[in-house]
Amino acid sequence: MTEANGVAPTGSLDSTSSMAKNHTYVLGINAYDHDVSACLLRDGEISYAIEKERITRQKHAGGFFQEVVDYCLQAEGITLDDVDLVMRNCYVLPVEELEVRLIYQGDMNEREREQAAKTPLYLSKSNKVITISHHLAHAYSAFAVCPFDEGVVMVVDGVGSYSSDIREPGQLTEGVNPLARESESYYKFEGCKLETVKKVWLQPCRGLLSDEFFTMDGLGALYSRVSSYIFADWNKCGEVMGLAPYGRANNFRRLLDLKNGELQVPEWDADFNQPWMPDGEKKWEASPAMGHWEDMAWRVQHDAEEVLLERARWLRETTGAKNLCLAGGVALNCVANGRIVREAGYDNVWIQPAAGDNGIAIGCAYYGHLAIQKKPRTFVMRQATLGVEYADDVVQRAGNRLLLNRKIFNGPGESICRESAKLLSEGSVFGWFQGRSEFGPRALGNRSILADPRRAEMKDKLNKRVKFRQAFRPFAPIVLYERATDIFDGEDESPFMLRAKQVRPEWKDRIPAVVHVDGTARVQTVRREQNERFHNLLMEFEKLTGVPVLINTSFNIKGEPIVETPQDAMNCFIYTGIDYLALHDTLVTKNILYRILSPFLKVYYESMARSRDETD
């Protein structure tokens, strides 16, 4: 694959390709606002999917979508002429209306305006380019690729489409305020048919300019409001979840409640007077408001869990369903997910690994495949590795050869997994770059930082020396599927790191670096058929240590997206405290010249980290 160059592949969408067409292609796009992404289907199966942030290196990147479209088309070796249908969504407004506003509002920079002018996807009049509503896209991202023939779907997020912008039939918009917005949506499905069961709306409210979202009475909106209050960023909900176990139970007023099935969100008042102000002199960790924030995090997490659990039970009782699918940003809350799995009464629960708005691209594509093209469901999303696989020659060209040594382990009796397991068991921190990149917010074994979970000090080492982030942030374990029930409670599989489990008492002292303060861990299980190389690595580590578990955290630092290319991996390796880097079969180490220059490199990189938002 060549790098996206900002120039649209040639084609008009309405012309007939000169190439012999052997496949049917549908392109899905999450457009313009945060987490811009694209997904390309080939004959009903996901061929490639990518988020813009991985290409531009700007976390949660929004704006125009040229890079992600180019990435998918170039990876597949096609142009827009070969695409049969383009489906898109932006939760702000219908894409065609938003694009007209972008002409005169100046929200796109000059480079993106030049990109837009060259592509038929911008201001398109083609009947092959269709916009769908937000929660419907989330729902299709889940049920269309789940392993169940029938079941129900819960979609809960911060904010979805305006009711007046929802044009698909059967979406329960009759009699709803045109300016009300989606907050929760519940569906049942059988085969390719999806039926809306219930929708919960965010009612219009007064706000300062565009700040209405932060005062809306919805579960996801309220959780984001708490995130803004504690971390000065609405998109730090994962950090709120991680902070919650440090809070004191019931030491903060209730923030969410259900009464007769209606969500209650009490108004905030002058007692909410300790928001984090990142422009101050004190660091976040040193704030005197820490106890207040911890108690608040406990409360919002507790209340959210109770509401979600009650909603999930209601949906099961109403429909009689045995299978549940989850999507929407709130479905990234692995603690709540764990309770739903254990307590809601379903036989099976499947969670879209890209449950946030990056997954909208998948849902858009599958709406096109199922609802527009009337094709059958044939694909199950058993893994989330949907990026390109970089060739060995690209890997070998990456990095600064003056600072690094390399050794390839592909000869007789040599194994990158065996060598890496040995070094990990000795306390080294590894960058692990293999195969296709993961789609979604989790590193699942192809773009990961790895370490030994037996060392209690490893958590602080990783947070301070590698990730440059707050000390309370926990790390996740990745475990052999066949050994998971020996170490963690519950029989359910967790391939996407989207559910929290209790660590069994006899293992808490054996893997202390992945046990959170409440005794839980955000578990990822690995089968050999899902990721053979990582399975082999875990097997080798278990042979040496008796522990079939490693610390697995995303290959990035605070404020940056997960690495995509070999060069991204090299940059993160060089400027951080990672000890070794495994790039395919190549083991990369830092040489004597690096050790001489490392104090200067460290100062440079830490200054870059400090220049970002204090709480990234």
How would residue 7 be classed by pLDDT, with cut points 50, 70 and 90? Answer: very low
Rg (CA), the chain: 24
- The DSSP bridge pattern shows strands 150-156 and 586-590 to be unpaired
**Mean pLDDT for the chain overall:** 92
Cα distance between residue 126 and residue 113, in whole Å: 20
Q: Which residue has the higher pLDDT, 455 or 279?
A: 455
Lowest mean pLDDT among 87-91, 105-109, 154-158: 105-109
The token duo for 535 is: 């399975």
Question: Is 2 within the bounds of a domain?
Answer: no
What is the domain-level CATH number for residue 111? Answer: 3.30.420.40
- Is 141 a domain residue? no
**In contact, 160 and 183? CB cutoff 8 Å:** yes
pLDDT at 15: 47
Report yes or no on 616 lying in a domain. no
Q: Taking 90 as the threshold, does the pLDDT of residue 596 lie above it?
A: no
CA–CA distance, 582 with 414 (Å, rounded to integer): 14
Query: What local confidence, expressed as pLDDT, does residue 4 receive?
Result: 38
Which are the contacts of 588, defined by CB distance < 8 A and separation ≥ 6? 399, 404, 405, 406, 570, 573, 580, 581, 582
Spatial distance between the Cα atoms of 283 and 273, rounded to a whole number of angstroms? 18
- Whether residues 56 and 154 fall in one domain: no
Residue 12, pLDDT above cutoff 70: no
- Are residue 525 and residue 411 in the same domain, yes or no? yes
What pLDDT, on the 0 to 100 scale, is given for residue 31?
96
Q: Is the pLDDT of residue 251 over 70?
A: yes
Name the DSSP class of 265: -
Going from the C-alpha of 525 to that of each of 24, 325, 506, the distances in angstroms are: 34, 19, 19
The candidate with the shortest Cα–Cα distance to 89, out of 139, 51, 134, is: 134
Q: In 3D, which of 243, 257, 237, 357 has the Cα closest to residue 305?
A: 257
The pTM (predicted TM-score) of the whole model is 0.93
Instruction: Confirm whether 273 is domain-assigned.
Output: yes
Residue 570 predicted with pLDDT over 80: yes
Cβ–Cβ under 8 Å, residues 551 and 475: yes
The pLDDT, as a whole number, for residue 214 is 72
Residue 4 lies in a domain: no
Question: Mean pLDDT over residues 43-68, rounded?
Answer: 96
Separation of alpha carbons 483 and 589, rounded Å: 32
Same domain for 544 and 413: yes
What CA dihedral angle connects 123, 129, 131 and 136, to 10 degrees? Answer: -160
Q: Note whether 89 and 120 are same-domain residues.
A: yes
State the residue range of the domain holding 174.
Answer: 146-351
Same domain, 427 and 545: yes
Q: What string of H, E and C letters represents the secondary structure of 528-585?
A: CCCCHHHHHHHHHHHHHHCCCEEEEEECCCCCCCCCCCHHHHHHHHHHCCCCEEEECC
Instruction: Decide if 398 contacts 564 (C-beta within 8 A).
Output: no
**Residue 396 sits in the same domain as residue 464:** yes
What SS3 state is found at 476? strand
Quickly count: other Cβ atoms within 10 Å of residue 502's Cβ: 17
Q: Is residue 255, in this structure, part of any structural domain at all?
A: yes
158/35 same-domain check: no
Residues 367 and 345 in one domain: no
CB-CB neighbours of 400 under 10 Å: 11
In terms of domains, do 191 and 329 share one?
Answer: yes
Question: Percent helix, strand, coil in the chain (nearest 5)?
Answer: 35, 20, 45
* DSSP letter assigned to residue 493: -
* Percent of all residues in the chain with a pLDDT value above 90, rounded to a whole number: 81
> Which residue, 72, 148, 119, 103, is CA-closest to 364?
72
User: Residue 415: is its pLDDT beyond 70?
Assistant: yes
What is the number of residues in the chain?
616
pLDDT digits (tens, 9 = 90+) for 416-459: 999 999 999 999 999 999 999 999 999 999 999 999 999 999 99
- Asked if residues 404 and 588 have their Cβ atoms less than 8 Å apart, the reply is yes
Asked if 425 and 541 touch (Cβ cutoff 8 Å), the reply is yes
Closest CA to 479 of 541, 420, 417, 436: 541
Q: Which of 85, 84, 68 is nearest to 130 (CA)?
A: 85
Q: Is residue 103 part of a domain?
A: yes
Residue 519 in domain: yes
Sequence-distant (6+) residues with CB within 8 A of 313 are 344, 345
pLDDT for residue 605: 62
Number of domains within the chain: 3
